[in-house]
Each structure stands twice: as structure tokens, then as C-alpha cells.
């Protein structure tokens, strides 16, 4: 849902005045320089300048100045991350495996076979015993309490909790927000999320607002990309608020289809808010690139994460058995697109040589060359969609255990928090004190459709402390995560 464009305002008017002055001043300055050169004493000018015609002097000065002015006016404006905040889960929302399974046993459609399946899945999932679910999921039987009011209550808890922390950290007044982008895939109430936020924080009537739905776990990067595009054409010193979450309450599946029980076991409560700006003032990161790859033209990719009804009419998310293969193909397409933007020349040459060799001499004789992205980034935030997702990306990209540590620990402590998981991982890296000025961060998200999206950041100012979602537990991490977690 989008509001109409705001009026020009003082900032926009000043910006247009600056552009007009620059456009007029360049030719006038060039003409003045040419005229001044003709009026100088002969002994003060060189031979070529004295003999040149006025039109030549004008062009010699005007063309470079005009080209420089056009470049400065039309180049994409840099976008920065001022700060971010993640929802801090409360101890009373914690759901150990035993509690989760006890609640599952109260669902009439689930038999012992289904419970054994869920038990094995949880033991091998990479989740720990401290992940959290929304308040409605703590009642028995759970499905009877997953109401619309309960879903709105989860939004109040998660979204407003993260936003309160963000406004407190940045000291920015809500009235200074110019752009608001929210993503939540499966819960899209009326009024929308952006309306709820505008009402809660009394944002201005001219704020540009968008709610993105149905775009899955990679929607957080889509939101960042959209906010960047809006900021690049907004007046100077504008601010964009990006909120990423997934409301768990109304999406509790009560059937017995195994492929649709997976989200019940993996997804947990979570959310994040990020403040972006087109001004470097107080910025902590610079957004370098956003690269989106959509493979939805392929039927198998389009249907691999699909909301549907099972045989008896229960609504849930069906995760295809081909999901990892499709994710791998989407990742290859995405790294092919982002590689030329971030990799050093040596890696690009190696990749190009391998590609040509496979084309000329036959693909069977040469293995595909995977660029070493460790030469382009110091830190990696891989969507914590599950242990298999992290394992596959670690293998495909040749990453070390430490480089995927943030993803594994975020999955262990918070579970799959959908599009907000990348921000929990960035918070982990900063809480461990590993971020340095100039470090580069690669965020990789996967989502329904099927999408693989990337965002590349450069650190300007690391966090001063470990305040955030890891504040009370960072001293216990990293932890060893066995292949099978017995409880």
C-alpha cells in the first residue's frame, strides 16, 4: 500500500535551486573566462591562448565543466545505514523442544508418526533450546488461540519493540522519517503494517510508505533495495525506515503433511528495523550494492515454496524436496551478477578464463571455477533458513567455519526468523567485536518465488558495545552444535 508522493517541501526546493544555479553558472563561468582571457595583456598570455578564437576558449572551458556538472548531478547518490535494531526475545517466550512437542501432541491431526518426524527434524535442525514463539503459541491447544487479534499483538510486540530500540539508539524523532518500507510475507492485515506504524509513532502525513508481502525470507534485501532507490531521488538528508519481520501467529499449520510441518519446526519469532539515509552523517555502514536474482520463470522454482491447502483443507507452506537444488541454481546466478561488482581483477580473470575454457574445450573436462569471495568480503551473513542451507553455501563458496559462525549461531539462538535473520547475524559479528572500519559484509537471502538476493555493505563505524539481541548471551557463544541434539 503506497501513499501519494509528498509535496516538494523546503529541502526539495533548495535542491532544485542548487541544480538550476549549477546548470546556469557553468556556461556563464565559461563565457566569463573566455572573455577575460581576451582582455588580458598580451605579455600575460601564452601564444596559443592569445591566438585562440573565443569559441575555442569557450568550448575548452565549457565542455569539461559541463561534463563534470552533469556527472555530479546524475550519478547515483550514496545510501548509508545509520543504525539497526533487532527484537530482543523475552525468556517467557522461550520454547524448548519438549514444550514444542507437547503442544504439537494436542493437534488432533498429528499422530505418533508425525510427532516422531518432528522430533527427528528438531534434533537435526541446528536450533537450540532457547528459541522463542509468540504468546499465542504458548497456549494449549495452540491453534485455537492463533486469532487475528493475537497476530496483531505479535506485531505490536516485535515491530514496535525493534522500532523503540532503534529510535532510542539513533536519537532520531519519528517525525524525521521520510520513507517507510515494511516486509512481512504471510500476514497482511487491513490497515496495513505501515499504517500501524504511522499511527503508533505519529509519522508525517507525507511519508512515502510501502508494505511488501509474499516475497519470503529474502524480502529484507528487497526492502533495502527499494529504500535505496527512493532515497537516491529524495531530498538531501532524507531518512528511510526499513522493517523486516514474519508474523508467526496466524500461520500455525494443523495438518499432517510432512513438507508443510517443516515451517512449524523451523520458524521462530523475530524482527528488525534499520534506519537508512542519503546523508553520511552518523552513518555506520555504506550500502555498496544490491543484486537481486529471480528464477520464478521456471515452474519448479516458482512452486518450491508454496502456500496451499493440504488434502483436508488446512493451509500451510509446502517446501519442495528440490528446494536446495533450486537455491543452489539461484545462488550461482546471483554470484555471477555480483561477482564483477565486488571481486578483484585477479579473481575475475580466473573466472573468465575458466568460463571460456569450458565453452571452447567442453564443459566435461573442466570443473566450474567458483570465485573466492573471501577476497571481496571479510564477513558473511547467510540467511539462517536451516542447517542444510548454511551447509550448502559454506561448501559452495568455500567458507571457513568462522565465516559461517554468525549464521549458525543465529539459527541456534533465534531459529529461522525469516527476512530479519541477516540483521541478527550482523549483530552477532559486531557483538563479538570482529567488525573493523573498512570491513566489507555480504548479506545473502533466499526466498519464495524463487529469489536469491545480495547486499554488500562497507563498515564506516563499528558498534561501540554489544548492546542488542545478543547482549545477555554473547559470552556463551559460539557453542558446539552436534549433528543430532538430544534433549
Least confident of 219-223, 343-347, 363-367: 363-367
Per DSSP, 286 falls in state: E
Residue range of the domain that includes 405: 79-342+377-466
CA–CA separation, 118 and 252 (whole Å): 14
What 3-state DSSP class applies to 105?
coil
DSSP lists the bridge partners of residue 142 as none
Instruction: Give the pLDDT confidence score for residue 12 in this predicted structure.
Output: 44
**In this structure, is residue 52 part of a structural domain?**
no
Instruction: Give the pLDDT confidence score for residue 69 in this predicted structure.
Output: 65
**In this structure, is residue 84 part of a structural domain?**
yes
Torsion of CA 141, 143, 144, 145, to 10 degrees: 100
**In this structure, is residue 8 part of a structural domain?**
no
**Element of type H or E holding 408:** helix 405-414
Tell me how far apart the 2 most distant CA atoms of the chain are, in Å.
Answer: 102
Full-model pTM? 0.86
**In this structure, is residue 50 part of a structural domain?**
no
259-310 residue pLDDT tens:
999 999 999 999 999 999 999 999 999 999 999 999 999 999 999 999 999 9
**Residues 219-238: what's their mean pLDDT?**
97
Residue 14 CA: distances (Å) to CA of 76, 79, 310, 427, 449: 19, 20, 58, 37, 42
**Element of type H or E holding 159:** helix 148-170
Instruction: Give the pLDDT confidence score for residue 232 in this predicted structure.
Output: 97
**In this structure, is residue 109 part of a structural domain?**
yes
- As given in the structure block, the three cell numbers for residue 353 are 578464463
**Residues 79-102: what's their mean pLDDT?**
96
Distance of CA 22 to the CA centre of its chain: 36
Q: Into how many domains does the chain fold?
A: 1
Q: Which residue has the cell 508494505?
A: 211
DSSP lists the bridge partners of residue 457 as 287, 441
Q: Which of 284, 224, 137, 263 is nearest to 455 (CA)?
A: 224
**In this structure, is residue 168 part of a structural domain?**
yes
**In this structure, is residue 229 part of a structural domain?**
yes
What is the β-pairing status of strands 179-183 and 208-212?
A: parallel
**Element of type H or E holding 258:** helix 258-266
User: The domain that contains 204 carries what CATH number?
Assistant: 3.40.47.10
**In this structure, is residue 55 part of a structural domain?**
no
271 in Cβ contact with 86 (< 8 Å): yes
162 in Cβ contact with 243 (< 8 Å): yes
Amino acid at each position: 500500500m503506497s501513499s501519494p508522493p509528498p509535496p516538494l517541501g523546503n529541502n526539495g526546493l533548495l535542491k532544485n535551486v542548487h541544480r538550476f544555479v549549477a546548470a546556469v553558472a557553468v556556461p556563464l563561468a565559461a563565457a566569463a573566462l573566455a572573455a577575460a582571457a581576451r582582455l588580458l595583456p598580451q605579455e600575460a598570455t601564452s601564444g596559443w591562448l592569445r591566438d585562440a578564437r573565443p569559441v575555442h576558449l569557450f568550448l575548452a572551458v565549457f565542455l569539461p565543466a559541463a561534463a563534470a556538472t552533469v556527472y555530479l548531478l546524475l550519478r547515483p547518490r550514496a545510501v548509508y545505514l545509520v543504525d539497526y535494531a533487532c527484537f530482543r526475545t523475552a525468556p517467557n517466550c522461550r520454547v524448548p523442544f519438549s514444550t514444542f512437542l507437547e503442544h504439537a501432541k494436542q493437534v488432533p491431526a498429528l499422530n505418533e508418526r508425525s510427532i516422531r518426524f518432528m522430533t527427528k527434524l528438531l534434533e537435526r535442525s541446528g536450533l537450540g533450546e532457547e528459541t522463542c514463539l509468540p504468546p499465542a503459541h504458548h497456549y494449549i491447544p495452540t491453534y485455537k488461540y492463533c486469532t487475528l487479534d493475537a497476530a496483531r499483538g505479535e506485531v505490536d510486540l516485535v515491530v514496535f519493540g525493534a522500532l523503540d530500540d532503534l529510535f532510542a539508539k539513533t536519537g532520531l524523532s519519528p517525525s524525521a522519517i521520510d520513507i517507510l518500507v515494511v516486509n512481512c510475507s504471510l500476514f497482511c492485515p487491513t490497515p496495513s503494517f505501515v499504517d500501524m506504524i504511522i499511527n503508533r509513532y505519529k509519522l508525517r502525513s507525507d511519508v512515502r510508505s510501502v508494505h511488501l508481502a509474499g516475497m519470503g525470507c529474502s524480502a529484507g534485501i528487497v526492502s533495502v533495495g527499494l529504500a535505496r532507490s527512493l532515497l537516491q531521488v529524495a531530498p538531501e538528508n532524507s531518512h528511510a525506515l526499513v522493517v523486516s519481520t514474519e508474523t508467526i501467529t496466524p500461520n500455525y499449520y494443523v495438518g499432517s503433511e510432512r513438507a508443510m510441518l517443516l515451517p512449524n519446526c523451523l520458524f521462530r519469532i523475530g524482527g528488525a528495523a534499520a534506519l537508512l539515509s542519503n546523508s553520511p552523517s552518523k552513518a555506520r555502514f555504506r550500502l555498496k550494492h544490491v543484486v537481486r536474482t529471480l528464477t520464478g520463470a521456471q515452474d519448479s522454482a516458482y512452486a518450491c515454496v508454496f502456500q496451499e491447502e493440504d488434502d483436508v483443507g488446512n493451509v500451510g507452506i509446502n517446501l519442495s524436496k528440490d528446494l536446495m537444488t533450486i537455491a543452489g541454481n539461484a545462488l550461482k546466478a546471483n554470484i555471477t551478477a555480483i561477482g564483477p561488482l565486488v571481486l578483484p581483477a585477479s579473481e575475475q580473470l580466473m573466472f573468465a578464463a575458466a568460463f571460456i575454457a569450458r565453452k571452447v574445450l567442453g564443459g566435461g573436462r573442466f570443473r566450474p571455477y567458483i570465485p573466492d569471495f573471501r577476497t571481496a568480503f571479510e564477513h558473511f551473513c547467510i540467511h539462517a533458513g536451516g542447517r542444510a542451507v548454511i551447509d550448502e553455501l559454506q561448501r559452495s563458496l568455500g567458507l571457513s567455519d568462522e565465516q559461517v559462525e554468525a549464521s549458525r549461531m543465529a539459527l541456534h539462538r533465534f531459529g529461522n526468523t525469516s527476512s530479519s535473520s541477516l540483521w541478527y547475524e550482523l549483530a552477532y559479528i559486531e557483538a563479538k567485536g570482529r567488525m573493523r572500519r573498512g570491513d566489507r559484509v555480504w548479506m545473502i537471502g533466499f526466498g519464495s518465488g524463487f529469489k536469491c538476493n545480495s547486499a554488500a555493505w562497507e563498515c564506516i563505524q563499528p558498534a561501540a558495545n554489544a548492546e542488542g539481541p545478543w547482549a545477555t548471551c554473547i559470552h556463551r557463544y559460539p557453542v558446539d552444535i552436534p549433528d543430532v541434539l538430544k534433549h
